[in-house]
Amino acid sequence: MAAPKGNTNARRGTMVRDALRKAAIQDKGSLERIAKKVLAMAEEGDMQAIREVGDRLDGKALQSIETSKADPFEDMSFEELLEEAARLERQSKSNRIHKSAESNPISH
């Protein structure tokens, strides 16, 4: 995920990532030594190391989101969906007209 524009941390993060890549390329055994160290830490019960190994091997667990409200459009027929779309369009037009009238009051 990219950092927002103007975020100075993004540039620093890129610099660190680039430096790590360069160092890893120059010292071919460094990543293997790090991996062995992380595995050893995980074997000793370090929860952060255990999570890291799991995340790297299996991928991060998906976050489940439970909702109590079912999709209101799920059981609608095509015609009902068209009617709802038309209603929402009318409502949207009405809101735009109302906002336009508020922002441009006519003086007498």
- Mean pLDDT value across residues 7-20: 85
Burial class of residue 46 (count of CB atoms within 10 Å of its CB; 0-12, 13-18, 19+): middle
Query: CB–CB of 84/73 below 8 Å?
Result: yes
pLDDT at residue 39 in the model:
94
pTM for the structure as a whole: 0.44
Please state, rounded to an integer, the average pLDDT across all residues of the chain: 82
Please give the average per-residue pLDDT across 23-34, as a whole number.
Answer: 90
Q: What are phi and psi of 6, to 5 degrees?
A: 85, -5
| High-pLDDT (> 70) share of the chain, % | 80
pLDDT band at 18 (very low <50, low <70, confident <90, very high): very high
The whole-angstrom distance between residue 63's C-alpha and the CA centroid of its chain comes to 11
Sequence-distant (≥ 6) Cβ neighbours of residue 99 within 8 angstroms: none
Identify the DSSP state of 70. P
Higher pLDDT, 100 or 38: 38
Radius of gyration of the chain (CA): 28
Predicted local confidence at residue 60, as pLDDT: 79
Task: Give pLDDT tens digits for 72-95.
Answer: 777 888 888 899 899 888 888 887
